[in-house]
Amino acid sequence: MNEIYLGKIVNTHGIKGEVRIISDFELKNQVFKKDFNLYVGRDRVKLPINSYRPHKNYDMVTFVGITDINEVLVYKGEPVYINREDLEISDYILKDLIGLEVYNKEHLVGTIDEIINNGAHKILVVKSGKRKNLIPFVDDFISDVDINGKKVFINEIEGLINED
Neighbour tally for 4: CB within 10 Å: 20
Strand order in the sheet with 107-117: 131-136, 122-128, 107-117, 101-104, 151-154, 142-146
Q: Which residues contact 150 (CB under 8 A, 6 or more apart)?
A: 99, 100, 101
pLDDT category of residue 163 using cuts at 50, 70 and 90: low
Which element (helix H / strand E) includes 29? helix 28-31
What rounded mean pLDDT belongs to the chain? 93
pLDDT digits (tens, 9 = 90+) for 9-40: 999 999 999 999 999 999 999 999 999 999 99
pLDDT of residue 164: 57
pLDDT digits (tens, 9 = 90+) for 70-115: 999 999 999 999 999 999 988 899 999 999 999 988 889 999 999 9
